[in-house]
Structure 1
Amino acid sequence: MGDLQGLLESHGLMLVFLNVLAEQAGLPVPAYPMLFVAGALGMQDGGPSIGAVLAAVIAACLIADTAWYLAGKRLGQPMLRTVCRVSISPDSCIRQTQSVYLKLGPRSLLFAKLLPGAGALSTAMAGMTGTPYPLFLFYDALGSLVWAGGALLVGVVFSDFVDAILHAFSTYGHLAVLAALALFALFLAWRWWRRVHLLRRTRRIPRMTVDELERRRRNGVLPLVLDVRSAPAEIERIPGAQVVDLDSALQMLASHPATAEIVTYCACPNEVSAAILAERLIAAGYASTWALAGGFDEWKRLQGEAGIEPPAARDELSSPASGKS
């Protein structure tokens, strides 16, 4: 950390810019330690000014976030799946990110960077949902200001404490680095164990294939299909599916008999959200419940292979509001 202080004093703004740019681009390079130090050094003679540091941070965030925005706009849902596969909690981050952004819109960018793993996903969602670019830049710049300003403020307020930590790191540098790495490794191991435990548990939930679901539809015995994705009402869905909240589905099903056949689906890796709801329904007495294998993406893929026009598109063309016949 003593080296970090020396580097900041001589190449402060450039190092802050590159560090933030790398972190916001998705690399595992935390920027907060450098921002803490930059805030503390801003109170000393010769250190980078707080205003200049904020300008460098906002510029780096806007560059990286614009790339995520354009990728989300161009690639759509596959972009979210790609990002979630490399995150620490890939099985639920799509649903959670969609839920937050679709409820709050671009205003969620004001605090997205403060939530682990939500920054890049929220900017990709902005592109996916067609948020106007100037509006995106406005909220993203404010969110970057909140994110960086908090870290710099901590450095300013606790500048003496930061100086003491820097001195301790200079004296016991190798031991401190080893301790930090050990704590980070323990954190990753804990998150990995939780995910493995969740996957093992949800794999015990029975799956229904898309072919079997379509076969039942053709035979007129379609089960109750529940869509647990956090998405607006106008988004394409499996025909006949009912939208449910993962936490309140049991209340909605109170009028259905326990013998009802139910299929749940989502758009997350390993069908985890759908399997979690299916697990709760089975525990509540709905024994004939399945999670849809492959989820909505598998259904969409098979529809495309069969050359079937998406139901949402057909409904839109035939709806009176469209003005088309």
Structure 2
Amino acid sequence: MGELQTMLENHGLMLVFLNVLAEQAGLPIPAYPMLFVAGALGVQETGPSIGAVLAAVIAACLIADTAWYFAGRRLGQPMLRTICKVSMSPDTCIRQTQSLYLRVGPRALVFAKLLPGAGALSTAMAGMTATPLPVFLFYDALGALVWAGAALLVGVVFSDFVDVILAGFSEYGHLAVLICVGAFALFLAWRVWWRFHMLRRTRRVPRMTVDELEARRRAGTLPLVLDVRAHGPAPIERIPGAMVVDMHGSLDALGGQLEARDIVVYCACPHEISAAILAERLRAAGYRQTWALAGGFDEWKRLHGGAESPPQAAQAAQAAQAAQAANDAAAG
């Protein structure tokens, strides 16, 4: 296996720590291949022990994820938008991550790292929702253990196969690197094409500006407003009068709400694509007077003086939950 195995055997722990730290910080440097190898070398007793590798991974994850946590707590929704802009699927990125965290809470951190693109976003959501720091650290460490443990287990089970791969890299290293880079370039090109195609398609859906929506409200001709953002058990601010819908749900669930009415759909994602997708479905179903709200919920908040800060939003949500719990207790 030559120099590659020698490097992994002598400096494996530091390499694992730096690789995981870089990946969790957001750099496109996958850590799983390194963890596979670390698992194989650990079981063969030619590299760092499995326990030491797990400790290094958890430390690296806690360092990077705590930074995302405080960034989310300080910056809130703009932080999610910034992360999602570099995602392969920024349109669904925010909605899916918010939906996951709002439904499950900090327990989502246990398995978030196993879901592509959800790791940093979930830690930012923990900060946005003012999850207590000790609770965040506990679930994040548990999530790092699950994430790294799965990779190390694969390395242990397929240790002989990993040896073959390492030998191949040592002998055909340059060719292997070229193949990997070429495969990644093809994947990236396909995702860029898919993204361009989706943007071009949804751009045909007409937009209504927030000013036009407010003018209709003042004139007493407010359209039916549909909210396709992620929602969970905790209260979430939305445009007054908006109806919460699932963008992929059956249109029959809306019943007679759609009949003889103008419809405006909004979301909180880049290029308002989630809203445009539902608006496209509605128009194809015969509801031609349907628009996506230009700028989405963020533009509506800007017009109305800006969003609450993350701690204020969390306090409002906690107060609403406490009031609901008191009402339930009174009813019982």
| Common topology (TM > 0.5) | yes
Q: Please report the TM-score for the alignment, with normalisation by the length of structure 1.
A: 0.91
TM-superposed CA distance for 1:113, in Å, is: 0.6
C-alpha RMSD of matched pairs (Å): 2.0
Indicate the residue corresponding to 2:297 in structure 1: 296
The superposition leaves residues 17-58 of structure 1 with CA deviations (integer Å, 9 ceiling, x where unpaired) of 111000000011111111111111112234100000000000
What is the distance in 2 between the residues matched to 1:304 and 1:228? 22
TM-superposed CA distance for 1:193, in Å, is: 1.2
What is the distance in 1 between the residues matched to 2:105 and 2:45? 42
Indicate the residue corresponding to 2:284 in structure 1: 283
Indicate the residue corresponding to 1:80 in structure 2: 80
Contact (CA 8 Å) 1:266, 1:296: kept in 2 or not? yes
Matched, 1:20 2:47: no
Cα distance change on mapping 1:241 and 1:291 into 2, 3 Å: same
Contact (CA 8 Å) 1:259, 1:288: kept in 2 or not? no
The superposition leaves residues 66-105 of structure 1 with CA deviations (integer Å, 9 ceiling, x where unpaired) of 1111111111000000000011111110001011111111
Matched, 1:70 2:74: no
Instruction: Give runs of aligned pairs for residues 181-220 of structure 1, distance below 5 A.
Output: 181-220=181-220
Q: Which amino acid aligns with 2:86?
A: V
How much identity, in percent, do the aligned residues show? Answer: 77
> Higher relative contact order by CA 8 Å / sep ≥ 6: 1 or 2?
2
Contact (CA 8 Å) 1:110, 1:139: kept in 2 or not? yes
What is the distance in 1 between the residues matched to 2:17 and 2:162? 21
Q: Which amino acid aligns with 1:166?
A: L
TM-superposed CA distance for 1:159, in Å, is: 0.8
The superposition leaves residues 113-140 of structure 1 with CA deviations (integer Å, 9 ceiling, x where unpaired) of 1111110001101111111111111111
Per mean C-alpha deviation after superposition, the further-off stretch among 50-59 and 225-234 is 225-234
Indicate the residue corresponding to 2:34 in structure 1: 34
What is the distance in 2 between the residues matched to 1:245 and 1:129? 22
Matched, 1:139 2:139: yes
Contact (CA 8 Å) 1:92, 1:273: kept in 2 or not? yes
Moved over 3 A (4+): 1-4
5+ residue gaps, structure 2: 307-312, 325-332
TM-superposed CA distance for 1:257, in Å, is: 4.8
Cα distance change on mapping 1:257 and 1:63 into 2, 3 Å: closer
Contact (CA 8 Å) 2:228, 2:244: kept in 1 or not? yes
Indicate the residue corresponding to 2:309 in structure 1: none
Cα distance change on mapping 1:115 and 1:257 into 2, 3 Å: closer
Matched, 1:47 2:47: yes
5+ residue gaps, structure 1: 306-311
TM-superposed CA distance for 1:267, in Å, is: 0.5
The superposition leaves residues 115-168 of structure 1 with CA deviations (integer Å, 9 ceiling, x where unpaired) of 111100011011111111111111111111111011111111111110111111
What is the distance in 2 between the residues matched to 1:86 and 1:59? 25
| Paired residue secondary structure (1:140) | helix
Instruction: Give runs of aligned pairs for residues 98-137 of structure 1, distance below 5 A.
Output: 98-137=98-137
What is the distance in 2 between the residues matched to 1:154 and 1:181? 23
Indicate the residue corresponding to 2:97 in structure 1: 97
| Paired residue secondary structure (2:43) | coil
| Paired residue secondary structure (1:42) | helix
Cα distance change on mapping 1:226 and 1:3 into 2, 3 Å: farther
Q: Which amino acid aligns with 1:7?
A: M
Contact (CA 8 Å) 1:258, 1:285: kept in 2 or not? no
Q: Which amino acid aligns with 1:177?
A: V
What is the distance in 2 between the residues matched to 1:103 and 1:141? 20
What is the distance in 1 between the residues matched to 2:175 and 2:259? 59
